[in-house]
Amino acid sequence: MHSHLFLKIKMKKKSQAAMEFLMTYGWAIMVVLVAISALAYFGVLDSKIAWKFLPKLCQLPAEMYCSDFEIYYDESTLPPSNTLKIYVKNNRGIKINIDRVQIANIDDPSIDIDLANGEDRLLEVTEITPLNGNTEGILPGNAYKLDFTITYKNTETGLEHTAKATLRGQQVLETS
């Protein structure tokens, strides 16, 4: 009988410790959720605002390198348009010909750029409005994320290849 009472007291202490543990972590989780909710309510976590604080990003496969890029907003055209300017370097080891750039639903087959191995050239795609489903395009200062595909040919074999790319940055106002 004495051991049964001792076991009950020991179980009660373990239960109390477990309950205190859960309550402490429960309060901590609740404080974190309230803080996140407050940040979301005041717009700090809004993707349009949060993306402005992220660094510029240009991701291309190993066979190409992006040395610099911008998306310019040109308000002198009607309707205003966006222009992608990206410097691409050929790391393929052979001469290639870039003949197409596809951005979302925009397909620009008018590009015809020969790149020798190690050469760096400007790719320019104009009138990429609408962008990211926004009918007004991207306004100056707004953040963007842009996925696109570059199609190129090996000039020795004539075989066609594609390179998927991602850009992230802020819109720049075109100044003439």
pLDDT in tens, 87-117: 999 998 999 999 888 876 666 667 888 999 9
62 and 31 share one domain: no
Listed in sequence order, the residues at least 6 apart from 24 whose beta carbon sits closer than 8 Å to its beta carbon are: none
DSSP state, residue 94: S
Contact status, residue 87 vs residue 69, Cβ threshold 8 Å: yes
Question: Tell me, what's the pLDDT at 138?
Answer: 55
Contact status, residue 75 vs residue 64, Cβ threshold 8 Å: no
28 and 64 share one domain: no
Question: Tell me, what's the pLDDT at 97?
Answer: 92
83 and 131 share one domain: yes
Question: Tell me, what's the pLDDT at 6?
Answer: 54
Give the global pTM.
0.61
Q: What's the mean pLDDT when you consider all of the chain?
A: 77
Domain that holds residue 33: 2-45
Point out the residues of the chain with pLDDT beneath 50.
Answer: 130-136
